[in-house]
Structure 1
Amino acid sequence: MKIAFITYSGSVKYSGANGFDEIQDLLPFLQNKGLDIHAEIWDDPEVEWQKYDVALLRMPWDYHQKFEAFNNWLDRIEALGIKLLNSYQTVRWNIDKHYLKEIIDAGFDVIPSVFLEKEWDGNFSTIFNSLKSDQIIVKPCVSGGSRNTFKLNAETARGRADEIVTLLLDGAYIAQPFMKEIEDGEWSFTFFNGRYSHTILKKPKTGDFRVQQFFGGTIDRMEPEQSLIDQAASYLPAFAQDTLYARVDGVLVDGKFVLMELELVEPFLYLAYAQEAPENFYHALKEKVDSFKVNED
């Protein structure tokens, strides 16, 4: 099967580590394994999508800035009968942080969340009271890379209320309590075809709350106890079934894993931080593609 390795035209802010650069090295690694896979920019009008059987979402990292165009592209390649990894249903569900409400309503441990819709009146006091926190994080429901993300207390919130009300004209936002546990690190558990692969811990630089490398955050591989892996894996059967890749992000609160994000669209997989991770990803991808072939036969 011919596979499109989906990228975007923007710059890349992640750096390689441990002799493997996920941005530069993953595609040739997969090609050298014998897969018929080629990089394509998702919104390049010159791409002949009909020649592909499978589209693998790896780095369409500007989708949140071109949201309507991205959804139209999904519709177009689905109409061509191209298989998407992860699936169209999964991507459309996970692309908007309103999905967290479904997980909360199902009784899973998730950071408390309040959604700010276009009708919101800018009254932050009710948000702080609802979240029972004196510091909150506010970010778009469709976003990436901490874009338009605010850390607010009661005083700074009053000063940003009008700005955020204006931003809501372009889409809903989510408000969550600032979790002091983020200072101890955000855990990311990665699973391929539902099987555990590896874990990393991302820590913000001193005085910041953003864990991304391009904001000065650090990354370390972790070897968590099986009980912690099981807690992270518990979200998969209900919300990430039959996914090629799933990254489960969260913090430890009193030793218990609490979900921040379930990343099923285009997450960075931190393949460089576990020697076996690229091989794990390849075997999962081949398994998935082979299953498509069997179904077609």
Structure 2
Amino acid sequence: MEIGIVAPINWTNPGIPIDGVDYMKQIKNIASFNDDLNFFILNFESIKEDGDVIFYDINKNEIGNGKIEDFCLIHFLDFEPSNNISESLVQKWHRINSKLKQFEEKKILTINSVKLINYCFEKKYLTEIKDDEVNFIQTRILKSGTNFEKIKQEYRNGSFIIKPLNGESGNYVFEIESISIENYLKMCDQSENLIIQPFRKEVQNGEYSMLFFREKYCHAIVRTPVNIKKLLPPKFNITKYIPSTKEIEVGNKIFSLFPEKLDIFRVDFIKAKKEILIMEVESVDPFHYVIENFREYSEKIGAFYKMILN
């Protein structure tokens, strides 16, 4: 069974890691504990309109060419960054979505459907899902270019942040009280929609992440910020976390509330006055934060792939 995994690697020299996560090492480790599966890393940027794709064959340790429909299952582990440094966030996601449509049109089996990936990308769950047992952070989504002074006036009392809907890595996050018109316009250039949320100081105590394979809990970590200066892109200490039964139940409840079945997803939350406040449900290439017990994780994800295929 051929598993195609979308992840960024050094395509010029696959043996040399690129900045960030060493996905080559991670996927080779997964393959080493799942001999009955054949793993290929797909070059997402190389995908053509006819489905041609460049891949790296983990078993043969070589680069090859094929079609995206050659693979039994595709897992979008992490989308590759663009070589275009001037690309905005909205341009990035339009580029990604144009390629994702091919998987949907060709009816290729993917970890999280393309429809669900787009639903999560648009953060619709933050405003659409209502349930007494799940507490999402208060969120408002509005169009980029909404009158600047009106926003400043409406949110003049209290501490609120504004950021691009499709933001990442803590970039372009501003406090409404102090944002300038120049920064507001720069942010609007990045995204078609913006998010307004209250700033929660509890984030400084740590943000918790639980990984699930459908309704099955896998593992969890806590990210504690090293620099706690407000709104700066943070650096974190990452440590293992053992969630409570209640916290795992919240993850399972989220699974049941989504409009489609989540395959692999991550629930990010903070603890606020003994409540679990959900900050995000990540299904668009959710980072897995594997910091220990790699064999256990590899065996679990391998078993999950086989369950999906069977």
- What TM-score do you get using the length of structure 1 for normalisation? 0.82
Alpha-carbon shift at residue 99 of structure 1 (Å): 3.3
Other-structure match for 1:92: 118
Q: Say which is worse superposed, 78-87 or 166-175, in terms of deviation.
A: 166-175
- Determine if the alignment matches structure 1 residue 133 to structure 2 residue 165: no
User: For 1:163-197, what per-residue CA distance to the aligned partner results, in whole angstroms no more than 9, with x for missing partners?
Assistant: 32453244111111111101110010111121011
CA 1:120/1:67 → structure 2, altered by over 3 Å: closer, same or farther? same
CA 1:183/1:219 → structure 2, altered by over 3 Å: closer, same or farther? same
Asked if structure 2 preserves the Cα contact closer than 8 Å seen for 1:61 and 1:266, the reply is no
- 1:28-67 superposed matches below 5 A: 28-32=28-32, 33=34, 34-45=36-47, 47=53, 48-62=67-81, 64=89, 65-67=91-93
- Give the RMSD, CA atoms, in angstroms: 2.6
- Determine if the alignment matches structure 1 residue 238 to structure 2 residue 257: yes
- 1:174-189 superposed matches below 5 A: 174-189=195-210
Give the secondary structure class of the aligned counterpart of 1:25: helix
Other-structure match for 2:291: 272
Give the secondary structure class of the aligned counterpart of 1:232: helix
| 1:80 alignment partner AA | K
User: For 1:257-291, what per-residue CA distance to the aligned partner results, in whole angstroms no more than 9, with x for missing partners?
Assistant: 1110000110111122445323222211221122x
CA 1:258/1:274 → structure 2, altered by over 3 Å: closer, same or farther? farther
Alpha-carbon shift at residue 25 of structure 1 (Å): 2.8
- 1:159-170 superposed matches below 5 A: 159=180, 161-169=181-189, 170=191
CA 1:211/1:191 → structure 2, altered by over 3 Å: closer, same or farther? farther
Aligned counterparts of 1:119 and 1:153: Cα–Cα separation in 2: 14
Aligned counterparts of 1:49 and 1:88: Cα–Cα separation in 2: 14
- 1:273-292 superposed matches below 5 A: 273-275=292-294, 276-290=296-310
Give the one of 267, 278, 282 matched to 1:248: 267
Asked if structure 2 preserves the Cα contact closer than 8 Å seen for 1:140 and 1:149, the reply is yes
Aligned counterparts of 1:168 and 1:73: Cα–Cα separation in 2: 24
| 2:261 alignment partner AA | D
- What TM-score do you get using the length of structure 2 for normalisation? 0.79
How many equivalent pairs are there?
A: 274
For structure 2, the 5+ residue unaligned runs are 11-16, 54-66, 83-88
For structure 1, the 5+ residue unaligned runs are 16-20, 291-297
| 1:133 alignment partner AA | G
